[in-house]
Amino acid sequence: MKKAIKIIFILVLIGSLGFLGFFVYQKTDNPTQTFETDSTFVTNIEKKTVATGSINPRKEIEIKSQVSGVVDKLFVEAGDNIKAGQLIAKIKIIPDVVALNNAEANLKEAVINFKNAEKELTRQKKLFHEKVISEFEYNQYLLTYNLNNQQVDAAENNLQLIKEGASKKSGAVSNLVRSTVSGMVLDVPVKEGNFVIETNTFNDGTTIASVANMNEMVFEGKVDEAEVGKLVEGMALKLTVGALDSVEFIANLEYISPKGKEEEGAIQFEVRAAITLQSDQFLRAGYSANADIVLERKNDVLAIKESNLFFEKKKVFVEVLIEGEKFERREIKTGISDGINIEVLSGLTSEDKVKQI
């Protein structure tokens, strides 16, 4: 009897374990799936492009020396605000040997010609008073005398300019470098003791200082060829400066390059925008900046998250919750997108919920 009860108990235990295993298998084979959903919503959408570039003064003037020599004294440094005509530097002139020799030779020749003309004029003056020559002939010798006198003055002035950079009569001192504009000194690339070359038709000369009006700043950047056709002069830009994260500047697009340049395998077009600065705002030259350019904007449109879309054969679909845990695939028409949200033109209502993907 006891043996029969034991056998029955073992059979019941085996049956229970079998039923439990079958139940677990069924649950594993057909797991219950749950999905998160997103509701449609009404929002404003802006389609933007971004131009990367830098902040620069509209006009930056390079002040150069009119003579060659050595920087004897500097009177300004970067960051100084100066006026037009203000003294920037003094150049100690080191005369060119060939030019100096030529100037000295020209002066000697001019002096010799003047002395000869003076002697001849004295002789001809005596003959004129004795009525040997006419007044016309005498005036010719007087003219030659005056011309030779002027040549001596010109030769002396030229020699003094070469030696000292100063004209004896005019008093013009070319070895003193003065600013041609008012503004802020951005850079002084030379130091006292540096040799500088004069600016002329054969070379640009050495820059003594760079000066710019820091109240007139522009954004200079580049836009990809895929977006440049959508830009129009006069568009408003929102500038974000890398060094000033919390400050946003407004600029007005004023130039779009008619010719693109290839950079890293892509065609880029240069753009320029005038920056509007408030009285208490200051931008340093060379700041890196990004410009948000609004290509299109729509207000109060029905939208969904763009990440919930999927595409088949150039058509756009979403999965719409219809009841309980059931979804149906539905084709929709879309409008503009800002990369996160996308406008829904048709196919959804404000009550619909779509499956998160």
Nearest one of 326, 333, 332 to 355, comparing CA atoms: 326
Rounded average pLDDT over 56-72: 91
Q: What is the pLDDT of residue 198?
A: 84
Q: Is 239 exposed, middle or buried (0-12, 13-18, 19+ CB in 10 A)?
A: buried
Query: Mind giving me the DSSP string for 43-84?
Result: EEEEEEEEEEEEEEES-EEEEE-SS-EEEEEE---TT-EE-T
Whether residue 63 is predicted with pLDDT greater than 90 in this model: the reply is: yes
Cα–Cα dist 91/178, whole Å: 11
Rounded to an integer, the average pLDDT of 239-258 is: 89
Residue 19's pLDDT is: 60
Report all structural domains of the chain as residue ranges with CATH numbers, in order of start. 37-45+299-355 (2.40.420.20), 50-58+215-297 (2.40.30.170), 61-212 (2.40.50.100)
CA 23 centroid distance within chain: 71
For the segment 99-117, the average pLDDT, to the nearest whole number, is 89
pLDDT, tens digit, 9 for 90 and up, residues 257-271:
999 999 888 899 999
pLDDT band per the 50, 70, 90 thresholds, residue 172 = low
Coil, helix or strand at residue 131: coil
Q: How many CB atoms lie within 10 A of CB 216?
A: 13
CB atoms within 10 A of CB 95: 18
Using left for φ > 0, alpha for ψ between -120 and 50, and beta otherwise, residue 347 falls in left
> What is each CA distance from 279 to 177, 181, 282, 308, 343, in whole angstroms?
32, 21, 8, 46, 40
The pTM of the whole model exceeds 0.85: no
More confidently predicted of 334 and 280: 334
Please, which residues bridge with residue 298 across strands? 45
Give the residue-averaged pLDDT of 305-315: 90
Mean pLDDT over 220-246 rounds to 88
Q: Give the pLDDT of residue 200.
A: 78
Structure tokens at 194: 């540096």
DSSP string, 197-234: ----SS----EEEEEE-TTSEEEEEEEEHHHHTT--TT
